[in-house]
Amino acid sequence: LALRRLQRTGLAALVTVYGPRSKAKAMIEDVVRMHGRVSGRTSEGEPYHATDPELLDWVQATAEFGFMEAYHVYVHRLHFFERDAMFAEARPVALLYGAVGAPTSQAELYALFDVMRQRLVASPIVSEFLEIMEEVPALPGVARPLQRPFLKAAVEILPQWVRKRLELGDRWTLKPWERAVVKTTAAICDSTVLHSSPAVQSCRRLGISESYLYRRTASENLHRTGQCSFLD
């Protein structure tokens, strides 16, 4: 179940970025409808609904932060203006998801972090999720040893105050050799043209070279990704 949910989330992200406009919009509408059926109470007794504007803004912001920060830390360092460009280019999609108040710049992201700082609390759900992701076969057999370092790498990009607040201790800190492996793997993945990948398929739809997104430096590629997405 955890693996299927992870796969669906990954597919949604890929379709959102690289899918044709018609398919991306249809998928987003399905996600919004599913969110409409999700509600409950937190462990602190606070009621929530998946369509709450503040919650949607937070989900959008943290998703954008995760992709951007992982690229920045493990692939290629991004300039401040490139970060702002990413938020600006994500705005049309954020609106479709209902995240009308999601950050449109790095400064707005930091402001949102400050607003949410006091609302974040440690939860056993976080540890349970990480433990599940350690065991679930998310990667093919030959790559399975990389799964734990990748999890640790995901935790490491969080701001220190978030890690402290969520009680994510040294267990989730990369060893030097693990960091080197993660960065090497990320660099290889960033430069490998997979003909079946959604990124390459989006370039085909636009009638441009399959290697279009791989021709320039990594930072330029990230900025240019929007040119192969949500345009047709």
Specify the higher pLDDT residue, 101 or 122. Answer: 101
Report pLDDT digits (tens) over 26-81. 999 999 999 899 999 988 888 999 999 999 999 999 999 999 999 999 999 999 99
Contact of 166 with 193, CB cutoff 8 Å = no
Residue 218 has pLDDT above 50, yes or no: no
Q: Count of domains in the chain? A: 1
Q: List the one residue out of 139, 120, 124, 137 whose CA is nearest residue 189.
A: 139
**Residue 61 one-letter amino acid:** A
Residue 219 has pLDDT above 60, yes or no: no
Residue 185 has pLDDT above 80, yes or no: yes
Distance in angstroms (rounded) separating the CA atoms of residues 25 and 136:
30
pTM of structure: 0.85
pLDDT score, position 116: 92
Domain containing 81: what range? Answer: 2-228
